[in-house]
Chains A and B, each alone.
Chain A
Amino acid sequence: MARTFELESGVVDALNDVSLSAPVGSFIALIGPSGCGKSTLLRLLAGLDDPNAGTLSIGGRSPSELRRAGRLGVAFQDPALLPWRSVTKNIALPLQVSGQSVRDNEERIAALIELVGLSQFANALPGQLSGGMRQRAAIARALVTEPDLLLLDEPFGALDEILRRTMNLELQRIWSDRRPTTVLVTHSIEEAVFLADRVAVMSVRPGRIIEIVDVSFGRPRSPELLRSPEFHMLADHLSDLLHSGVSTR
């Protein structure tokens, strides 16, 4: 599968000959240097963009079919909450957009708010929340339609390192609750190894996947894992791959 962009300066191969498959209910992480096409790949998966060559198939359906059916969930680095809506109403937005009744799903929304630990802030406006709380609300919003595919684009990229680790634990807990097939784009090797079943390492110009590494640690994964030698060996291996990807351009 490939995606090129025509700019004034010429044609850019954003993605070239990318091939990746994921079992239902698995957690895939995409890591790579800036400009390697991670986000482009995610936009293609979200049906927000189309490939120039090749196909994407999610359970036999194209991303745009899945998107129109409201079977996708997405969270970005920026929580992108509507500032005039409370947490509850922000989480309800995808339901409203896909034409589902909010009233029928009130219990599910409340359960999601509980799951992301915002019960006391259900009626708070985004402006009254901390950065981490907003991000949790955005993740709850991504899950509200019970998506077949959850897409996370650097969801904790704007948070500090300590909060990021906490949020990774939270994300693992939330994800384990329903196990949607998940694709996480990240800069952080640690985050990728800690959360994913499978890590795809990408390189730049043209954007391509240079290696797919399986992560076989059992779940639930605890913070102690971060200090284990196995974890570090895997992280070092990924780090070497990333650097080779940068140097070969």
Chain B
Amino acid sequence: MKWTRVARGALVVAIIFAVWEMIGQWELVAGGALPPPSNIVRQFWEDRSDYPPHLSVTLKSAGLGFVFGDVIAILIGVISARWRVAESLFRGVGVSLFAMPLIAIVPVLLLAFSGTIPRIVLAAMAVYYPTYVATIVGMRSVDPRLVDVVRVAGGEEYSVTRWIRWRLAVPHIVNAFKISAPAALLGTLLVEFGGGSRWGLGTYLLGSLGQANPARLWGIGLTATMVAALAYAMFAVIARRLTRASLSATVDTSVIRVEPGLWPRRIAMVFLSAGFVLGLWALTLKLLGMSPIVAKSPWAVVEYLTSDPRAAATRDRLFDAYRETLPLALLGLVCGLLAALILAVVLQLKPTLGRSVLPFALISQTMPLPALTPLIVLIFGRDVLATVVVCVSVTFFPSFVTISQALASVSPAAIDVVSVSGGGRVRALRYVGLPGSVPALATAARLAAPRALLGVMIAEYLATGNGLGNLLNESRGRLDYGMIWTVATTSVLVAVVITQLIGVFERLGHR
């Protein structure tokens, strides 16, 4: 049984490569923008001496960011699992880092730090949320009987944490590393796109974009993908050892839930945790001792948008950019979700096919897709279509995994009811599966929305020259520091508001 599955997987891979080779050889896509695998391998071999210096810089930055980000996330996770107040306070940080379009703060990081530090910082930021959530979930996954056993033996909360909680959290945390390690790579690559340094896989990719050598671009893109896949596989193996069962490879989003308590308390906590984020921001600037001309505090951004002499013109430019970016992100999000829903439904009706595809979907979820935007630009050109394709490609996989899992977890008894009433698989899906997966669709939308915004901004930043991404790029060129900070701040704010709104729908659906 296991071997037939392996064989089926191998067959799928072989077919994909055969079709790809044919498409490439006959230059069917955009006049050879998709080269055949054989050319990519040949080019990779020719470039083999170029890779080590680029790769080592990228791996080092991503690795350091991964370690720092995880250490901080685990510490804050442990504190948050222990004290409700801490959890409420750090909620704003988590929500912001979850929703933040990473590319938006690349210019800010490049202003604030030099060398490879911006890469390390962004990698750490990309890592934080999945690890933080896993730590809290793991620390809280304790059987209450075990807590009683420790307490009856004379222990208090400290003993419960020391003897039980941390050990239960370890498999959850390692499992989160499956997602956060590729995320660290993505963060590093995005900063490398921002330029500044000579070395790095992202620098190499961007530098090769103008050389009319698709095979090299693909070689670099596939190398990045391989690194992400290896990191994923490594932690998947360790996590499986630790749990002897595979945990799902999705970010557990259940933890960031509604603040408990009455409305006044909830609102107060929202303000408190938002204030905490702003406080951290201001404190960081102070600690770094940055000039207020370059580094804008929260109030400086507000001033820039309100009382500054050019504030009105600034606001117009900002709104114009959002008017270009947000509809595209929405379009890409909807297309990505629809495609994911359709494929998930089709595979639910053809389970054998589904079993061969799902493993690929699980792994592809962790591909540094936003960083592969240059490849998509190569194929689809530099217009709106490329933007939407980027957006769909980054939203599709996480949505597909979330929706598939929801469809697959429909209660067998409910399906039996349909079968007994004479309905087949199609009816079971129509009356039970699809209605049951509506909340999952909302969850998928919440997971995918930040990625949609990120995808559009990257495409704009690197290729199309529109919207927010372009505004960010332009402002860097013009040394318009106020605008750089404003775009970063408002895009995080917009992303947080969007994901929170989707979260409201999601909770309604779960009722």
Q: Tell yes or no: B145 within 8 A of A by CB.
A: yes
> Assuming A82-B164, A93-B163, A97-B163, is B154 touching A76 (CB within 8 A)?
no
Q: Tell yes or no: A33 within 8 A of B by CB.
A: no
Which residue of B has the minimal Cβ distance to A99?
B154
Complex contact A93–B143 (CB within 8 A): no
Q: Tell yes or no: A69 within 8 A of B by CB.
A: yes
Complex contact A73–B143 (CB within 8 A): no
CA distance A68 to B156 in the complex (A): 8
Q: Interface residue count for A (Cβ, 8 Å)? A: 24
Q: Which residues of A are found within 8 Å of B288, using beta-carbon distances? A: none
- The contact of B149 among A69, A70, A80, A84, by CB within 8 Å, is A80
CA distance A30 to B225 in the complex (A): 63
Smallest CB separation, B76 vs chain A (Å): 25
Q: Interface residue count for B (Cβ, 8 Å)? A: 15
Complex contact A97–B167 (CB within 8 A): no
Q: Tell yes or no: A47 within 8 A of B by CB.
A: yes
- The contact of B152 among A74, A78, A84, A96, by CB within 8 Å, is A74
- The contact of B148 among A70, A76, A141, by CB within 8 Å, is A76
Q: Tell yes or no: B413 within 8 A of A by CB.
A: no
Q: Which residues in chain A, 93-118, are within 8 Å of chain B measured between CB atoms?
A: 93-94, 96-98
Complex contact B149–A74 (CB within 8 A): yes
Complex contact B154–A68 (CB within 8 A): yes
Smallest CB separation, B493 vs chain A (Å): 37
Smallest CB separation, A194 vs chain B (Å): 25
Q: Tell yes or no: A182 within 8 A of B by CB.
A: no
CA distance A97 to B155 in the complex (A): 6
Interface mask (B137-151 → A, CB under 8 Å = 1, otherwise 0) = 000000101101111
Q: Tell yes or no: A46 within 8 A of B by CB.
A: yes
Complex contact A93–B154 (CB within 8 A): no
Which residue of B has the minimal Cβ distance to A95?
B153
Q: Which residues of B are found within 8 Å of A141, using beta-carbon distances? A: 149
- The contact of A97 among B143, B145, B159, by CB within 8 Å, is B159
Q: Which residues of A are found within 8 Å of B151, using beta-carbon distances? A: 46-48, 67
Q: Tell yes or no: A72 within 8 A of B by CB.
A: yes
- The contact of A72 among B145, B153, B164, B167, by CB within 8 Å, is B153
Complex contact B149–A93 (CB within 8 A): yes
Complex contact A93–B153 (CB within 8 A): yes
Q: Which residues of A are found within 8 Å of B152, using beta-carbon distances? A: 46-48, 67, 72-74, 94, 151
> Assuming A67-B154, A69-B154, A93-B163, is B143 touching A78 (CB within 8 A)?
yes
Residue of B148, B149, B150 ringed by the most chain A CB atoms within 10 A? B149
Q: Which residues of A are found within 8 Å of B155, using beta-carbon distances? A: 97-98
Residue of A73, A97, A141, A145 ringed by the most chain B CB atoms within 10 A? A97
CA distance A74 to B167 in the complex (A): 22
Complex contact A82–B148 (CB within 8 A): no
Smallest CB separation, A78 vs chain B (Å): 5
Interface mask (A191-219 → B, CB under 8 Å = 1, otherwise 0) = 00000000000000000000000000000
Which residue of B has the minimal Cβ distance to A43?
B148
CA distance A71 to B155 in the complex (A): 12
Smallest CB separation, B72 vs chain A (Å): 26
Q: Which residues of B are found within 8 Å of A72, using beta-carbon distances? A: 152-154
CA distance A96 to B153 in the complex (A): 9
Complex contact A70–B143 (CB within 8 A): no
Smallest CB separation, A193 vs chain B (Å): 27
Q: Which residues of B are found within 8 Å of A68, using beta-carbon distances? A: 154
CA distance A141 to B153 in the complex (A): 10
Smallest CB separation, B174 vs chain A (Å): 14
CA distance A98 to B143 in the complex (A): 20
Q: Given A48-B148, A73-B152, 10 other A-B contacts at CB below 8 A?
A: A46-B151, A67-B151, A72-B153, A72-B154, A74-B148, A76-B145, A84-B167, A93-B163, A97-B163, A98-B155
B residues engaging A (CB < 8 A)? 143, 145-146, 148-155, 159, 163-164, 167
Q: Which 9 pairs of residues, A with B, have the shortest CB-CB distance? A: A94-B153, A70-B154, A80-B145, A97-B155, A97-B153, A74-B152, A98-B154, A97-B159, A72-B152
Jot down 13 A-B pairs with beta carbons below 8 A, ordered by A: A46-B152, A48-B152, A67-B151, A67-B154, A69-B154, A76-B149, A80-B149, A93-B163, A94-B152, A94-B153, A96-B163, A97-B150, A98-B154
